[in-house]
Amino acid sequence: MNSKQIIEVLMQQPIEVCEQVSEVSVDMWGGFPKVIQEVFPNAMVVYSLSQKDEVLCY
């Protein structure tokens, strides 16, 4: 799946639901920030940096 397809699937959720999402945890795939910004405008992106509990917030 590419980012456009992922956005299309996630946009099937009501906008009220998408606006309530405050945090999304993702791996380091480069397409995620675009997807998150488009679908979940109020969400913070949290990246997992390793197998440990380290995270990076964007």
Residue-wise pLDDT tens digits, 46-57: 887 765 555 555
Q: Phi/psi zone of residue 6: left (φ > 0), alpha (ψ -120 to 50 degrees), beta?
A: alpha
Report the predicted TM-score, pTM, of the whole model to 2 decimal places.
0.72
Q: Are 25 and 48 in contact (CB under 8 A)?
A: yes
pLDDT, position 55: 54
Residue-wise pLDDT tens digits, 7-16: 999 999 999 9
